[in-house]
Amino acid sequence: MIATTFTPWASLAGGVLIGISATLLMLLLGRVMGATGVLAGLFQPASGDDFLWRAALVAGMVTGPVIVWIATGEMPAVQVPVSTPALLIGGLIVGVGVTFGAGCTSGHGVCGMARLSPRSIVATMTFMVFTFATVFVIRHVIGG
């Protein structure tokens, strides 16, 4: 059985930072912080300014581990308990879901739910139901 390590303080800190980031992006630029939308718009920006804020946000996401390394002297431990093919298949499934769901968990779950968007509430409930079902199947049916 796969053990899950619960990190309440790190999780709380990360959630607070995501919330502050999403709030500032909405307050300053009037934009929703959906990670997949930000990334997609980086490859097809509407303008130079549009590219700049997206590039800055993605750079901040990517450089986070470097900041942890500078602050602590150690890179954060990353454990991926699945194979590379499983990651690739999962990524494709997520990509299809993002396309059909018109957004991702950050856009719907963080920003849409905060705005009480009915579409985002339904999308987030759908994400969660399928997440629970997937974990149950992998842990209890397949036996991973």
pLDDT given at position 144:
60
Chain centroid offset of residue 8 CA = 18
Work out the number of other CB atoms within 10 angstroms of the CB of residue 108.
Answer: 25
pLDDT given at position 81:
79
Greatest extent of the chain over all pairs of C-alpha atoms, in Å: 50
- State pTM to two decimals: 0.73
- If you search the block for the tokens 């968007």, which residue do you land on? 117
pLDDT given at position 51:
92
The whole-number mean pLDDT for each consecutive block of 10 residues of the chain, a chain of 144 residues, reads 75 90 92 87 88 91 89 87 87 85 84 90 91 88 78
Question: Nearest 5°: phi and psi at 79?
Answer: -120, 125
Q: How far is CA 108 from CA 69, 90, 135, in A?
A: 31, 19, 21
Helices 35-43, 48-72: axis angle to 10 degrees equals: 120
